[in-house]
Amino acid sequence: MSFCYINGFYKNNIDAQISVEDRGFNFSDGVYEVMGFRNGKLLNFDKHMYRLCKSLINLQISKPFSNPNSLKIIIYHLLKLNDVNDGFLYLQITRGTAKRNHLFPSNIKPNVVIFTFSKGSLDKIKKGVNVALTEDQRWMRCDIKSISLLANVLDKQKGHESGFFEVWQLRKNLITEGTTSNAFIVNKKSHIYTHPKNNFILGGVTRDCVIELALKNKLKVIEKAFNIDDIRKCNEAFLTSTTLGVIPIIKIEDTIINKKKIGLITKTLMKKLDDYLNKQIYE
Ligand code: PMP
């Protein structure tokens, strides 16, 4: 039996109820975060909080907690109730419940839902995945971690049905990001390229960590969008997300990357990220 947190209460997942007039339900009017925890310790909590608060401000949704610490207490209680030490949590904040109308009332109270989940083994994925390319169909505010994910859902599904693990999206022939992850390549000079953090991508927490770790290890990171030609010429490619960490890419459409072997830089960053997250357990 799994518990969730819903608007001040801890309930069995199947007993939790939300109004049919929840604006998240009716309009995708809300934001979310996915956070990891290891050994019962939340990972990258401050970075997730920073992004969550930015998303809330951008959508003019009022903050449903007085400070990050009050949210931390709620989350740790939920982990205890669910008796979980390693896994992920999904936190969703919608604008709240109101009579269905595009215009929203100013005094509306947000609806908050938190639940935990686990991921299967990543062993196979960590050996390398394939990626398809498609046109980026999303809106112009991909930096907001909105619960409106329809373009991502449809493109990921289409890729999956054609045998691809992830799909990289292109805007004006430049790769923005994956449907559920950020996109990186490493060129012949061992320079790491990824799309700059702007309104065309979600600024991934893992992306930030990986860039920080690469720089610390004297690797050159260039936050500049790359194109299909750059992919054809690259030495390595990888993707990043909270639930996956750093995942090597061995094929992009028909282009084989690094003879399907995990490149040295990718391997280094996989290890550095893992160490960085493990270190947080004892902080
Ligand atoms: N881009 C998109 C579109 C995503 O959905 C995600 C995962 N939520 C990411 C990037 C990676 O972000 P993070 O590293 O914060 O999980």
pLDDT in tens, 145-188: 999 999 999 999 999 999 999 999 999 999 999 999 999 999 99
Gap between the Cα atoms of 206 and 273, Å rounded: 8
Residue 201: pLDDT over 90:
yes
Q: Is the CB of 206 under 6 A from ligand 1?
A: yes
Catalytic residue list: 145
Å from CA of 122 to ligand 1 middle: 17
**Is residue 129 within 8 Å of residue 266, measured between CB atoms?**
no
Backbone angles phi, psi at 249, to 5 degrees: -115, 130
| 119: confidence class by pLDDT, cuts 50, 70, 90 | confident
Q: What is the mean pLDDT of residues 240-257?
A: 98
**Is residue 31 within 8 Å of residue 55, measured between CB atoms?**
yes
Residue 24: pLDDT over 90:
yes
Q: Is the CB of 202 under 6 A from ligand 1?
A: yes
Tell me, yes or no, if the pTM score tops 0.85: yes
Q: Is the CB of 242 under 6 A from ligand 1?
A: yes
Closest residue by CA, ligand 1 atom 1: 181
**Amino acid symbol at 68:** P
Å from CA of 55 to ligand 1 middle: 13
Å from CA of 207 to ligand 1 middle: 8
Q: Is the CB of 55 under 6 A from ligand 1?
A: no
Å from CA of 59 to ligand 1 middle: 18
**Is residue 40 within 8 Å of residue 85, measured between CB atoms?**
yes
Q: Is the CB of 44 under 6 A from ligand 1?
A: no
Closest residue by CA, ligand 1 atom 3: 180
**Is residue 125 within 8 Å of residue 247, measured between CB atoms?**
yes
What's the confidence (pLDDT) of residue 1? 83
For residue 272 the two structure tokens come to: 């550095």
**Amino acid symbol at 77:** H
Q: Is the CB of 240 under 6 A from ligand 1?
A: yes
Residues whose CB falls within 8 Å of the CB of residue 144, separated by 6 or more in sequence, listed in order? 31, 54, 55, 58, 59
Closest residue by CA, ligand 1 atom 9: 181
